[in-house]
Amino acid sequence: MLRLPESISLANLPTRIEKLERLSKSLNKEIYIKRDDQTGTEISGNKVRKLEFAVKEAMNQGCDYLITCGGIQSNHARSTAAVAARLGMGAFLVLRSSGDEPLEGNYFMDKLLGARIRLITREEYREKRMTIMEEIRDILAAEGHKAYIIPEGASNGIGTFGYFKAMEEILAQEKQMGVKFDAIVLAVGSGGTYSGLFYANKAKENEAKVYGFNICDDAAHFKSEVSKILKDSFRYTQAEIPFTSDDILIVDGYVGEGYALSRPEELAFIRELAGMEGIILDPVYTGKAMYGLVQEIRKGTFAAHQNILFIHTGGLYGLFPKRDQFGF
């Protein structure tokens, strides 16, 4: 039995698994959704599962401040700000900005939650976000704080265990429900969620295939990222699992206009599913991934799979800054 690192309890778990009745019928499949958009309110979405492990590590190191980074509408940054406030810690967020974004959605919540924020350019973010976070750690140290740096999306070795544990949760729910999922599908943005599900799926010798739909970059990038994250997580468990890059299933082709940019067909799909099932997807991650899944099912790519579980990783607040693009 593989021993996971210590964690703290932050999320509302287990999250429900629900069947999407009308979508299933229209596609001739059994489509289920795991409501990780309901892990909480301020903390909602997938990042809080990773933070349960990362923040415990921070606390064990005696840290009283969390530093992290992301896009201006980062769900991860907002979750981190909420967790920090909840635990009486400080949060410092380094956000990628073009300088003209409205104070909306996650960015607005970051401010409400009392996070300190530094806005940086796209180039600074790409080239030296880690250096900038390290500078901030030194500034906080001079103020008498000990800060813990969480990389983008908490997608590193320690964060992986959030979704290792989520996979254990899914296996237990399968038993209760009397279903066996043969495909697990999710959006991939920095790779940590995928890595955790993949790791546990292999470690538990589960038969399901785990498919990630990348919402930025490409399949080659994420195969390499996931491999790196997995290797980092093996340091904690001393339990390496053998895998090859071919085992990491990334379905490319649904990035569309680019990260956080929406195509009309993606927004139309979000609107359609909302009315059909009462499920609201986000424009940056889950909307693209679920749109991609439906296209792939129609093309026949998922012919070998009947019971499909989609992970709703959250992102609701990122929808509001996009409201004008829906054409209402």
Ligand X SMILES: *Cc1c(COP(=O)(O)O)cnc(C)c1O
- Interface residues with ligand X (CB under 6 A) are 45-46, 75-76, 153, 155, 187-194, 282, 285-286, 313-315
Minimum distance between the CB of residue 190 and ligand X, rounded to whole angstroms?
3
Q: Which is nearer to ligand X, 183 or 290 (CB)?
A: 290
Burial 233-252 (b: 16+ CB within 10 A, else e): beebbeeebeeeeebbbbbe
Minimum distance between the CB of residue 316 and ligand X, rounded to whole angstroms?
8
Radius of gyration of the chain (CA): 19
Minimum distance between the CB of residue 159 and ligand X, rounded to whole angstroms?
8
Q: Which is nearer to ligand X, 113 or 187 (CB)?
A: 187
Q: Which is nearer to ligand X, 90 or 189 (CB)?
A: 189
Minimum distance between the CB of residue 294 and ligand X, rounded to whole angstroms?
17
β pairing state of 30-35 and 17-19: antiparallel
* Strands lying side by side in the sheet with 249-251: 17-19, 30-35, 307-312, 183-188, 209-214, 249-251
Q: Which is nearer to ligand X, 23 or 319 (CB)?
A: 319
Active site residues: 74
Q: Which is nearer to ligand X, 14 or 192 (CB)?
A: 192
Minimum distance between the CB of residue 23 and ligand X, rounded to whole angstroms?
19
75-78 long-range CB contacts below 8 Å, 24 or more apart? 75/44, 75/45, 75/46, 75/47, 75/106, 75/282, 75/314, 75/315, 75/317, 75/318, 76/47, 76/152, 76/153, 76/154, 77/106, 77/110, 77/115, 78/42, 78/106, 78/109, 78/110, 78/113, 78/317
The structure tokens listed for 323 are: 């409201």
